[in-house]
Chain A
Amino acid sequence: MSKGESLGEFEHLTLLAVFRLGDDAYGMRVRREIAERTKRDVTIGAVYTTLERLAAKGLLKSALSDPTPERGGRAKRSFRVTGLGIASLNRARQELGSMLEGIAFPLSGGAR
């Protein structure tokens, strides 16, 4: 797999969040999902930049829904993981599993 196709750390988290949310994956829910699970303070701008990049790579596809009153009459852009995205997640899991094999956690020591 070329470097351009590999997933960055935040891309990986975003793709997993979209996968976990299923049909309910849109910017706000993705942001909250990542924030709650990783305890990181993620901004909506960072989430959308990453979602856009993943969509450009063909790992996600998006659709605009009708405006709703609770959103101030604004539309919602929902995302779904594509087949390529699923393959990318499987590959990332396999690579990580392979790298973690034989290492006992929690780690200790390290260079001083």
Chain B
Amino acid sequence: MRPPLLAQTVLMALAGPGEAEYIAGDLEEEFAMIREARGRAAARRWYAWQVARSICALLQLRIRSGELTQAVLIASLGVALPLLLLDRLWTFVYSQIPLKDGLHRAAGFLVFNALCVCACAAVLGAWAASNWAASNWPASKRLGLKSRALALAFAAAVAVLVALWAGAANAPAGYVVALALAVPASALLTFAWRKSK
């Protein structure tokens, strides 16, 4: 008889890989004791209630360990900020090229623009990923390589979307999607490459 799956998933997601292991172990041990004393339904209710009331504390624990701060800092400074500046530069370049009424910009020009930004995103994502993989910060050491890659990829995707939304709300949807995929993809590929070495 296992604890409620939803509560267990929330716990594992919030506590982070380092803390989740022993916190879940503690809860599981007490869950078994309560199930024997008060029955299955009471034990399941107790488990879910413990996780629900621990959400703020678990987040606090994770922020204090530095994992979230590192991911957000690297994604923001290493990926989103340069992308935002690049996007602003291209917007400026666009604005300097006059178009006659009824004419549209060549599709090739837009594709070239998207390719340039994607290439930069890939390089920046790879740089951020390899930098984090090689870092000796305590929180980085405790996280597995795969967890670090996924955390960074997710944070980078969110940062890119926020940066593009803030900087160029009128950017074409395909362009935004390409960027949001290119950055985490490059981060994941770099982590995979480092692991293989």
Residues of A within 8 A of B (CB): 26-28, 31-32, 43-46, 48-49, 52, 64, 67, 70-72, 74-77
A71 touches B25 (CB 8 A): yes
User: Do A28 and B27 touch (CB < 8 A)?
Assistant: yes
Residues in B42-63 with C-beta less than 8 Å from chain A: 50, 53-58, 60-61
Collect the chain A residues with CB atoms within 8 Å of residue B60's CB: 49
Partner-A contacts on B (CB < 8 A): 19, 21-30, 32, 50, 53-58, 60-61, 64
Contacts of A46 in B (CB 8 A): 54, 57
A-B pairs with CB below 8 Å: how many? 66
State the main secondary structure of chain A at its contact with B: helix
Q: State the majority secondary structure of interface residues on B.
A: helix
From B19, B26, B28, B53, residue with most partner A Cβ within 10 Å = B26
Say yes or no: A43 contacts B50, CB within 8 Å. Answer: yes
Contact in complex: B26, A45 (CB < 8 Å): no
7 CB contacts below 8 A, A to B, read A28-B29, A44-B26, A44-B54, A48-B19, A52-B61, A70-B32, A72-B24
Asked if A52 contacts B50 (CB within 8 A), the reply is no
User: Would you call A71 and B29 a contact (CB within 8 A)?
Assistant: yes
Q: Which of the residues B22, B29, B55, B58 comes within 8 Å of A77, measured between beta carbons?
A: B22
Top 3 nearest A-B pairs by Cβ distance? A45-B54, A45-B57, A74-B25
* Cβ-neighbour of B57 out of A32, A43, A72 (below 8 A): A43
Known A70-B32, A75-B22: A45·B56 in contact at CB below 8 Å: yes
Contact B22 A45 (CB under 8 A): no
- Cβ B25 vs Cβ A43 within 8 A: no
Q: In the assembly, what is the distance between CA of A28 and CA of B22, in Å? A: 10
Question: A71 vs B163: C-alpha distance in the bound complex, in angstroms?
Answer: 44
Give the docked Cα–Cα distance between A45 and B19 (Å). Answer: 10
Tell me the minimal C-beta distance from B22 to chain A in angstroms.
Answer: 4
Distance in Å: Cβ of A67 to nearest Cβ of chain B: 8
With A32-B30, A43-B50, A44-B27 known as contacts, the answer to whether A27 contacts B57 (CB < 8 A) is: no
Taking CB atoms, residues of chain A closer than 8 Å to B57 are 43, 45-46, 48-49
A6 vs B39: C-alpha distance when bound (angstroms)? 42
A90 to B61, CA, bound (A): 28
The distance in angstroms between the C-alpha atoms of A74 and B30, with both chains bound, is 13
Residue in B closest to A70 when the chains form the complex, CB atoms: B29
Given contacts A28-B29, A45-B58, A49-B60, contact A74 B22 (CB under 8 A): yes
A32 to B26, CA, bound (A): 11
A48 to chain B, nearest CB (A): 6
